[in-house]
Amino acid sequence: MTTFGLPEALFILRAAGWTLVLTSVAFILGGLIGGVFAIMRLSQVAALRRFAAGYILVIQSIPVLMVLFMSYYGLSAMGVELPPFLAAAASLSIYVSAYLAEIWRGSIQSVPFQQWEASASLALTRGQQYRYIILPQAIRISLPPTVGFLVQLVKNTSIVSVVGFVELSRAGQLVNNATFQPFQIFTLVALIYFAICFPLSRLSRHLEQVMNASRPH
Amino acid sequence: MPAVLIDDVHKRFGNLEVLKGVSLTVEPGQVVALIGRSGSGKSTLLRCINGLEAIQSGRIEVAGHIVDQDPKHLRELRKDVGIVFQSYNLFPHLTVSQNIMLSPRITQNVPQAQAETLAREVLAQVGLSEKFDSYPDNLSGGQQQRVAIARSLAMRPKVMLFDEVTSALDPELTGEVLLVMEKLAKGGMTMLLVTHEMNFARNVASTTIFMHQGKIWESGPSRELFSNPQTPELRNFVSAGAH
């Protein structure tokens, strides 16, 4: 039986790198899709609004684990073999898109409607209103909850270990299987999660305070 | 051709009919005050003129544009019709000059240097040249409202609409905004204003329209209307001071 030493620790650290990669990919892809759904959710076209609302409702109502099972085992049963990383990244992106769409829809809607009226009265198109007036204000409003959600995402990436993708949690399990020193190993794993999430949590809190201090009136 | 032509306009919010057949014309250069109690339909009428509210029947023509709800038509209309709101509605993330230059830059393709000259010009007109780089939050209510007027003026509008623009202001700040509006009126701007400032209506507006229950109840040359109201409703309204 091996003992927990430097090579094992490095193995865990490298896996932490994959957690970061997975988080980044899911956040960026999910953010792009979520942004589109947020705007669709507020479209003047009823069909787009309903479609976006339906998508968000469905994704938020099922565990991300089921999305993962469907995209990994489900697709492979139908003959489409996704590598674990792709299945994991796709599932997490879908999960992220539904939540960010809701967070951002709320942020867009908390820009006072008078800003829409004033900019419409200045002959701006709807696209120009979003670009120059609404989004710059909505993005500021959305920063604290978005960063807060990112913290959740870092931790939730651990569920992709069930399809055999080796990220931080899975690496901890593997090393523990070989060395059986759970206390040391999972303390290290927990510390790494903490080291990633703590600065993000502080950033979210800081952004919130900055926003409150500069909120007009 | 009149600057504003309103013909038998009806407007409902659900089952509530707020405009019950309103007709009026405004000639170029004319200043018209709309007065009346809250809920008489005066603000709604003003908002119909630049298409912020859709009408159910009747016809509105402004500066050669027929007002309908086609987005393209509305944009053309709004290049010629400025509106100033009670709550200023400046864009808080932009400086004063950016607020003013935004629409000329992106809807009329005015080059940056020219837009800056334009911004300085309209800011001088409202007496706020030194606030070029300030953010709206650092201005008083009266100053914000004057910037909002300048922002509208930068569009070179043919008609200006003012929707209770001094109602949110302390009395000592009201004067500076009214002064700017009076200057505009004297400069020949076509103006429609919803106001509770009876003195301003009497002294600056050539015509005053008293609205009551969704209709034009009484209208005429301002001085006559105030000194010799024909209907008991206007008589009550005038003697109550306002509101």
What digits encode the pLDDT tens for the residues B176-202?
Answer: 999 999 999 999 999 999 999 999 999
Q: What is the CATH number of the domain that holds B172?
A: 3.40.50.300
CA distance A166 to chain B (A): 44
3-state secondary structure A56-99: HHHHHHCCHHHHHHHHHHHHHHCCCCCCHHHHHHHHHHHHHHHH
The phi and psi torsions of B32 (rounded to 5 degrees) equal -120, 125
- For residue B215, what are the β-bridge partners? B212
Of B74, B89, B107, nearest to A115 by CB-CB distance is: B89
CA distance A30 to chain B (A): 27
Positive or negative, the Cα torsion across A150, A113, B115, B181? negative
Distance CA A122, CA B153 (A): 11
Residue type present at position A121: S
Distance CA B234, CA B225 (A): 9
DSSP state of A133: I
Compute the C-alpha angle B63/A115/B166, nearest 5°.
Answer: 70
| CB-defined contacts A:B, below 8 A | 57
Whole-Å CA distances, B68 to A19, A122, B13, B192, B197: 55, 17, 17, 19, 31
Of A118, A121, A137, nearest to B93 by CB-CB distance is: A137
3-state DSSP assignment of residue A130: helix
Burial class from Cβ neighbours inside 10 Å (0-12, 13-18, 19+) for residue B132 reads middle
Instruction: Look at B225 and A209; give whichever has higher pLDDT.
Output: B225
Of A118, A123, A136, nearest to B75 by CB-CB distance is: A123
Written as one string, the DSSP assignment of B98-154 is HHHHHHHHHHS---HHHHHHHHHHHHHHTT-GGGTT--GGGS-HHHHHHHHHHHHHT
Is residue A67 within 8 Å of A91, Cβ to Cβ?
Answer: yes
Provide the token pair at A74.
Answer: 């489900």
pTM for the structure as a whole: 0.89
Provide the token pair at B147.
Answer: 């910037």
- Count how many domains chain B has: 1
What proportion of chain B, given as a percentage, has pLDDT over 90? 94
Residue A217 confidence (pLDDT) above 80:
no
Provide the token pair at B55.
Answer: 């009408």
- Would you put residue A96 in left (φ > 0), alpha (ψ -120 to 50) or beta? alpha
Compute the C-alpha angle B197/B200/B205, nearest 5°.
Answer: 120
Which residues form the domain of B90?
4-239
Cβ contacts of residue B61 below 8 Å, gap of 6+? B2, B4, B5, B67
Give me the pLDDT at residue A183, please: 92
B85, A136: Cβ pair inside 8 Å? no
Instruction: Write down the ipTM of this complex.
Output: 0.93
Task: Please tell me if residue A73 touches chain B, with a CB cutoff of 8 Å.
Answer: no
Q: Regarding the domain delimited by A20-167, which CATH topology (the fold level of the hierarchy) does it fall under?
A: MetI-like fold (1.10.3720)
pLDDT band at residue A1, thresholds of 50, 70 and 90?
low
- Mutant choice from B75, B151, B161 vs A, greatest count of A C-beta within 10 A: B75
pLDDT band at residue A80, thresholds of 50, 70 and 90?
confident
Chain B residues within 8 angstroms (CB to CB) of chain A:
50, 52, 71, 74-76, 78-79, 82-83, 85, 87, 89-93, 102-103, 106-107, 136-137, 151-152, 155
pLDDT band at residue B243, thresholds of 50, 70 and 90?
very low
Tell me the chain A residues in contact with residue B82 when contact means C-beta distances shorter than 8 Å. 121
